[in-house]
Structure 1
Amino acid sequence: MKRWYLQPSILLGGGLVLAVLAGALAAGWLYPGDPLDMVGAPFTWPGQDATLPLGTDLMGRDLAAGLLHGARVSLLVGLSAAAISLVIGIAVGAAAGFYRGGVDAVLTRATEFFQTIPAFLLAIILVAVLKPTVGTIVFALGVTSWTSVARLVRAEFISLREREFVRASVALGASDAHLILREILPNAWTPVVVSTGLLVANAILSEAGLSFLGLGDPNRVSWGSMVGLGRDALRTAWYMTAIPGLAIVLTVLGLNLLSDALHAALNPRLRRQRRDTA
């Protein structure tokens, strides 16, 4: 049987994500200046000027510099917003699934209430009310995307709460904190790990949408703002939107492939099926 880390999905997805990460890390070295500076003639097409390999936008800004510096913003927002969502979702789901009863009823109703509000719409409202910065975007996306994690963790805690190893710890007098953090949570990581990639991908897409609508940080270049600026020249210079748009597509594709690969690798039922067919 082929090892799980040699599956095409994880090789392709990991390669795409590593390429984006490498571009973000190299942005300051390859393009140390401000990516918002005008460095060339507007509407320079890719390949037309050797010093501007991806051309310039309608303001004369280097698209290659914007692409790499935009990768920093996208990864920062995606990872930070996903971390906030995981903290809130795990806390809510663990408390609801462990204590059940009234605590479960209240937290489940709260989760359902947040699910009735479109997350992107709520993020738009929060960013519009607050000053549009990277920090407020991270906060808005983080506090609106935790519900799916909470439901997954709650289901895992309900399933694991009655297992023999948990009952044995209860019989030995283990505290609630010990049961939650040391006994149940380590065995409930599979759906959390799988959903992390999807959370990062959704945060990147949402940040791009906010920046496209003019609700991004005006002092930071992002892929969404590049697409939004290029739409004014879509007929005459389509590359201005195609290049950052392709970066968004490939990044989200890579994260989704990684999530699928991790699901296939960590899911016990799928592992048994692979062993039976090997």
Structure 2
Amino acid sequence: MAVPDVPAVPDASSGAAPALARAVALAELDRQVAGCGACPRLVDWREKVARTKRAAFADWTYWGRPVPGFGPPDARLLIVGLAPAAHGGNRTGRMFTGDRSGDVLYQAMYDVGLASHPTSVSADDGLELYGVRITSPVHCAPPANKPTPGERDACRPWLVRELRLLRPTLRAVVVLGAFGWQAALPAFAEAGWTVPRPRPAFAHGARVRLAGPDAGQGQGQGQRQRQGRGLDVFGCFHVSQRNTFTGRLTPEMLRDVLRTAAGAAGLL
């Protein structure tokens, strides 16, 4: 299944404010993501989970579709995970919502000043993110939390389009886990940033500076400067229960990475 094009973002001469145009285009991207059916194994799994449910959520109507990104369209900081959880995002329709991993992430974001609440339980709970958007290189819940490389690659065009729409404001990215790191670096390159060669290895606390995209011919100096800004990419252990229950990733470690990334993004 081909990934449909996202409407182009009009420039100021079109009569639409650029920020508003990007917001409209990002909302359309999210709508298209939620309707994707490109990976049969993932479609079968997410829909099966939504039908059978978990006993604790028997009264829920599961989302059961690909989960789009969450956060403002002018985000300066992006958090990239792995994939929605079967009974978390696949149930609520929001990334990192309603599961243990999300509890750890949103608490840390709240502690640092990037979220309005320390928890997220549903898509209509009023949670706001301050200058931050959360997304994933795979938008469907995978069996055993393990997407295949083919599924990761099939989903990459969505991440590339999201990055291109966020590019005017995006200044920093936190990537959770090695899988997300391996998926995100090629997407950054496709979206216009320059990724060092050889590609940087994932590590908790890693920080890599990507050179900004070159502006096209005929653009003004201000537009070239905006498009040419680089991107700081930070590595962080994933907020999986395996990492948080064993102490491999502590709340303090997570807060430190988020605080540093938010500072690089100009949010703190």
Normalised TM-score (structure 1): 0.27
Structure (1/2) with the larger helix percentage: 1
Computing the radius of gyration from Cα coordinates, the structure with the larger value is 1
